[in-house]
Amino acid sequence: VLKIFKLLHRTRQEVFKNDTRALEAARQKINEEFRNNRDETSEAKINELLKIASDVEVILRTSVIQAVHTDSDKI
């Protein structure tokens, strides 16, 4: 569990580098989701949650695009 938690935070830092609002929002969401499920004891539910966390990490790493305005009409 700790491994995927750390991996999500490292991915968040890479994907949202230099975007303080997105970094903070992602940090809060990751922490909130893990905090909400910390008392889970069912092995099946824990494995399901870990699978979801792993899928989220892959989606963040492969699908999120950060854009920067370089001119008034260019990104």
Averaged pLDDT in 10-residue chunks for the chain of 75 residues = 96 93 95 95 95 95 84 78
Q: What is the pTM of this model?
A: 0.83
pLDDT at position 68: 78
**Ramachandran angles phi, psi of 30, nearest 5°:** -60, -50
User: What is the Cα 1 distance to its own chain's centre?
Assistant: 14
Query: Do the Cβ atoms of 16 and 22 come closer than 8 Å?
Result: yes
DSSP run (H or E) holding 18: none
H runs (alpha helix) in the chain? 2-15, 20-36, 43-63
11: helix, strand or coil: helix
pLDDT at position 65: 82
